[in-house]
Every structure is written in C-alpha cells, then in structure tokens.
Amino acid sequence: MNKDLILRERLAIQRTIMANQSTFLSFLRTSMYFAVAGVSLDQLVKLPGGHIIEYIFLVISAVVLVVGVINYVIQKRKITESERHIGNYKLDYENNAV
C-alpha cells in the first residue's frame, strides 16, 4: 500500500471538510449582513414603506441562513459517505509498517 496515497487522501478529505465549514460561515456572514441591513435601514433612512423593506431584508436573511444550513448538512453527509468508501487505511498502514 502506498503511504503517500493514504496521506494524500486523508488530507484531501480534511481540506474538503474545512471548505464545507468555510462555505457555511460565508452563508452565515451573508445572512447576518442582510439582518443588519434590515434592522438598520429604517433607522438610517426614513422611507415610505420602510418597514416593508426591513421585513424583506429579514426574510432574505432567514432564507439565506436556512439554505446555508441545508447545504452544510447535505455536503457533510456526502463527505462522510465518501470517507467510508475510501476505507480504513489506518489499519492497512499500521499492518504494512511492521
């Protein structure tokens, strides 16, 4: 068993996990921006129907957050399934190292 291949696959999985977490945090950040925009819009600018625009921003914020959570969970499941298909190289690595 090629030890470099084992390490490369493990590192690839770790990079994928971190990319998934980073993507979730981007969704969260975007959701928070929309929420802050919705809350502060009425305070900064007095517009006719400003409350409607405020609610629209808050709804967009909630939708972005829900989409981000769903995306994170789906991708996490796919990563877990991929990790199972790779196999348990730790046992193979330890058996071949001896």
Sorting pLDDT into bands at 50, 70 and 90, what band is 2? low
Does residue 68 or residue 5 have the better pLDDT?
Answer: 68
Torsion angle (degrees, nearest 10) of CA 61, 63, 66, 69:
-70
Q: How far apart are CA 66 and CA 50, in angstroms?
A: 25
pLDDT tens profile 6-23: 778 888 888 999 999 999
Please report the pLDDT score of residue 9 as a whole number: 81
Tokens of 38: 């919705």
